[in-house]
Chains A and B, each alone.
Chain A
Amino acid sequence: MLTAILVMVGIAVVTGLVLGWSAIRFKVEGNPLAEKIDAILPQTQCGQCGFPGCRPYAEAIAKGEADINQCPPGGEEGVKKLAELLGVEPKPLDESHGTPKPKSVAFIDEQTCIGCTLCIQACPVDAIAGAAKQMHTIIAAECTGCELCLPPCPVDCISMVPIPEDLPHWKWKHPVVMLKKVA
């Protein structure tokens, strides 16, 4: 009887120690679910979802504090992917957070720019080059098209230019197959 109890207690102690040790040793930093959600989000950092950037939105979704349909740049496809990841039903985009727009990059009219640096401070990805009283310009390859630089500009010299479809950006279209009617 005593041996049995001792054995059981021994096993419990050993297992407890192993579990306790591995909880410290293999502690996962951050929230792995938020990471996965963040990987799906388009990283425009536009804040249209109501959170200051994609990462906070991902964390809010992971905690169940935000819905999956608040990201217009991600579009319906993004919602579908999030729904798949979280095992919920996909739903249409919440229009109150904005509607999807064609992919664009910001463009600074260098004639009008007064070099106030307000847009530089607003850009979430540091894609604007310039200094005080110097002309500013957009690093087009790094612009996410978030439009956050538009409101602070005191002279309204920034406009959004849609990315044109040219040869390097061209994609084969889904073939339109004319199906023969079978009686």
Chain B
Amino acid sequence: MIKEKVKTGVPGLDDMLEGGLIPARAYIVSGTTGSGKTTLAMQFLLEGVRQGERVVYVCLDEPPNEVKSDMRSYGWDIGRVQVFDATPDIMSYDKTPVRDVSTERRVFYFKDVPDTIRLTSERSPADMTINTLQEILKQEMKERRYTRVVIDSLTSLRYFYIRTSEENSSMMSFLRLLSDLEVTSLLTLHLPEVSKPDVEVHVARGEIRLHKWIDGRGLVRGITVEKYRGSSHDNRLRFMRITSEGVVVKPLAQEKPAKQVEGGEGDEGQDEPPAPEEDQSATAPAALQGPTVPEDIPPPPGNMPDHGGDGI
């Protein structure tokens, strides 16, 4: 019998996963740019915070100060999520000796992240490799018992930290480390528009894939569980939206493919089908949207038909 499952905190997704994720395993969240991966991953961490768990976000794509300000547009308080800033420094292209980064960078809470970008030290930029990253994570895990980890993104890890010659073996050893540490982890993976499977997907215990495509009159988003070892799951493509509440997977009963079009301004055209009634609060008609919303002020909930590609 499997231990109690870990809830993802994404409305609708836990139903697809028959209750959630099996603990202490690594899962992939894949999708093209702007499909909602970072948003979904952050919802997973915030759910952990709500349950009183220790959670950590390993930042590889976007600097933490930007992630912090991005998440404010959902009105989320991510202050209690811990973050490790592994974003690559500016390269200096000359022969200054590099510092050992493990003595320089620590994990801290998002609430302590400054509003401006961390500046590369002019004298000695840090050189981070997959090995130092692995060491730091291992050390951190020993000191504090994290139960949820997000690596955002695995693609950056592959592109910026791993030499091509040892690509697959490094990647596998990294994934192995995560399962040895007994944390439930979500690893985001950027997909090109037409994708071919890679080693990560084979090694991970499951893959949640986010889709977006143009259908009839606008953008449609979908979500599938491509693989889930050790559990039954929903095999169907389900429609989802990125609302002011984050990623929301639509219940099956409401699915009408042609009508799941996300609107922006100007959506108020007469051919717009009325939104399902129980949905009105989360996805108010686009007509209510004001002409401009300053990016750093969280808009009132229910006033945002699409929150677009906050996740990469």
The finding on whether chains A and B are genuine partners in a shared complex, rather than unrelated, reads no
What is A's interface to B at a CB cutoff of 8 Å? none
